[in-house]
Amino acid sequence: MDMILGIDEVGRGPWAGPLVVGAVVLGDAKIEGLTDSKKLTKKKRDLLDVQIRQQAAGFGLGWVPADEIDAIGLSAALRVATIRAVEQIKVPYHEIIIDGTINFLSETSKGKYVTTLPKADLLIQSVSAASIIAKVARDNYMAQQDDVYPGYGFSGHVGYGTAAHRSAIEMIGVTPLHRLSFAPLKKYKDVTKITTKQVGDGAEEVAAQYLASSGHTILARNWKTKFCEIDIVSRLDNVLYFTEVKYRRTQIQGGGLAAITIKKQQQMKFAAEFYVQSNELQNASMRLAVISLSGVDPKVDTYLELE
């Protein structure tokens, strides 16, 4: 039975995204193919990640986001992430092995039980497992950020300083994911980080002004219930319009209309019908619409009424 607590980190060097430390006790789990996560294909990592989570005696993930890394420094962040990961382990273990040469638990009561070992992710199965779950978790998180901050290609480079990433920063700016304490990004330290809400609010205001200039009376903005939401509700010639606002900061991110899938249209239709029922508007004529905007100072590219 493997009761070693293996520890490895992912995300030490990227310009953006969190630092993640994995911690795994395999116990009696027999998992074939464990090795350094970087030597595995994505498909293999994903399969092993599921097996580790299902079969390991215990596992934990310690996360430190970019703003915390900026505040405390990378060395402290590595210690904090390791402690956070280990605190999630609730099963007994007789030894701790950390990949590398630094004992990130040296200042804790567990520090005396630690062995540091370079290339441990290749040599010790529990450390290999820790490297795999940490990488899969971080990669999946960064892929999700493509929807939050489109145009950076986070799913491809996962925050590392590639030429494409550098080009995107120069064109679009930095985000809350970026580590402004890292040398290549220090020049952006005094630049306000963009937030999705700020960008969305500005684009939505432009969209509302566009509708108003076209004769619409704005009835509601950001109408929300626990079931659905609508960006803008307006009236024109006794017809209710339910408008979805789609914003892209640059044209390289693609048109916002591409996001209006069949499923999205069904969601919009449900929201419109729910609004009419909630406001007891009998026999209302309804239309769904989309406004697509782009630019650092958002401008309307397309207004489209949906069938």
The beta strand positions in 28-136, using DSSP E, are 58-64, 95-99, 114-117
268 close to 233: Cβ distance less than 8 angstroms: no
What CATH class has 2-148?
Answer: alpha beta
- pLDDT per residue as tens digits for the range 142-200: 999 988 888 899 999 999 999 999 999 988 889 999 999 999 999 888 655 555 555 56
Q: How many CB atoms lie within 10 A of CB 74?
A: 16
Domain ranges across the chain: 2-148, 196-305
Report the number of secondary-structure helices (H) and strands (E) in the chain: 9, 10
Indicate the SS3 state at residue 222: strand
As a whole number of angstroms, the longest Cα–Cα distance in the chain is 76
- pLDDT per residue as tens digits for the range 31-80: 999 999 999 999 999 999 999 999 999 999 999 999 999 999 999 999 99
pTM: 0.65
Q: How many CB atoms lie within 10 A of CB 43?
A: 8
Q: What is the CATH number of domain 196-305?
A: 3.40.1350.10
